[in-house]
Amino acid sequence: MPMLIVLVALVDGQREVTALGVTTADRLAALGVTHVTIARDQRTEAVVLDGWAFDAITHAAEASDLVGGGAATQTLQPVLQVLITPEGRPGAHREETSDRAGTRTGVRQGVLDPDGAPPSAVHPH
């Protein structure tokens, strides 16, 4: 799922936790955002925006302005997103994939479907 992380600088922790009003929520939804997560410490607030239809590269500046509320912001684009599944879980399946020369090319993992067939997604290592 496309994701954008907006870091908002806090001046002496004086900013209220971001509240998404109806107008801001509607504008984010129009950009394709379906989920918002907010985390913070004393100096920084991180707003994580994601959604299947959200184009985080094209709409980074607009989304950052919406959640930043005029404060200094910095945007981060994810460079890696990993799904982790426990191997010991009943129904879990994991197999390594390789090319014709035998070089390991990735890992195929997931939960077997009800018919016992392995998952089809291959994740590069």
Please state the domain extents for the chain: 3-76, 92-123
pLDDT of 78 above 80:
yes
User: Comparing 116 with 50, which gets the higher pLDDT?
Assistant: 50
pLDDT of 117 above 60:
no
52-74 pLDDT, tens digit per residue, is 899 999 999 999 999 888 788 89
Cα–Cα distances (Å) from 23 to 17, 27, 65, 67, in that order, read 17, 6, 13, 11
Architecture of domain 3-76: 2-Layer Sandwich (3.30)
Q: Quote the pTM value.
A: 0.62
**CA distance between the termini of the chain:** 19
pLDDT of 82 above 90:
no
